[in-house]
Structure 1
């Protein structure tokens, strides 16, 4: 029985995002050292991404609002895995990550990152 090639799917997702997406960034704030203190340090990771409006059938006004975006982020070359608490910058708009899915089906290859972004206020 043949195994599925997740690296090939990752490459396909990357090609589509490269072609139809835009440049953006994933911002993560590193907390201060618990012993020495200091200030939180924001770190920005450049990414290729595609922000898309949710289909109307998924919008319930609470979990997913009309202002939320489903953001597809290429996993190729991204040094981090986007998680809740990160901020995604896309098209001059910043989105807080509400939910994140790395689409890692084999436990090794992150095919594409799909996050729910809510406009940062």
Structure 2
């Protein structure tokens, strides 16, 4: 039985996101050193993203708000794995990542990252 080619699917997802998405960034804040103190450090990682509006049937006003976006992030060339607490910046808008789902079907290859982003105020 043949195995599925997840690296190829990853490239296909990247091509679709590049075609229909936009350049953006994932920003991660590193807290100050607990002993020496200092300021938090914000590091920005370039990314290709597609922010999409949630279908009306998923918006419940509690877990998913009308202003939330489902953000598809290409895993190709991304230096980090997005996580809850990061900020996705796309189209001049900052979104707090409040939920994250890595599409990693075989446990090895991250095909694409799908995040729930809430507008940062």
Query: 1:52 aligns to what?
Result: 52
Query: 1:30 aligns to what?
Result: 30
Aligned length: 121
SS at 1:88's partner residue?
strand
Please state how far the C-alpha of 1:55 moved relative to its aligned partner.
0.4
Please state how far the C-alpha of 1:61 moved relative to its aligned partner.
0.5
Alignment gaps of 5+ in structure 1: none
Query: 2:88 aligns to what?
Result: 88
1:8 aligns to 2:8 (yes or no): yes
CA deviation vs aligned residue, 1:37-69 (integer Å, no higher than 9, x gap):
221100000101100000001000000010000
Matched residues in 1 for 2:107 and 2:31: separation? 28
Matched residues in 2 for 1:45 and 1:19: separation? 20
TM-score normalized with structure 2 length: 0.97
Matched residues in 1 for 2:34 and 2:102: separation? 29
TM-score normalized with structure 1 length: 0.97
Matched residues in 2 for 1:103 and 1:29: separation? 24
Please state how far the C-alpha of 1:36 moved relative to its aligned partner.
2.1
Range that drifts further, 27-36 or 10-19: 27-36
Provide the aligned C-alpha RMSD in A. 0.7
1:66 aligns to 2:66 (yes or no): yes
1:103 aligns to 2:89 (yes or no): no
Please state how far the C-alpha of 1:108 moved relative to its aligned partner.
1.0
Alignment gaps of 5+ in structure 2: none
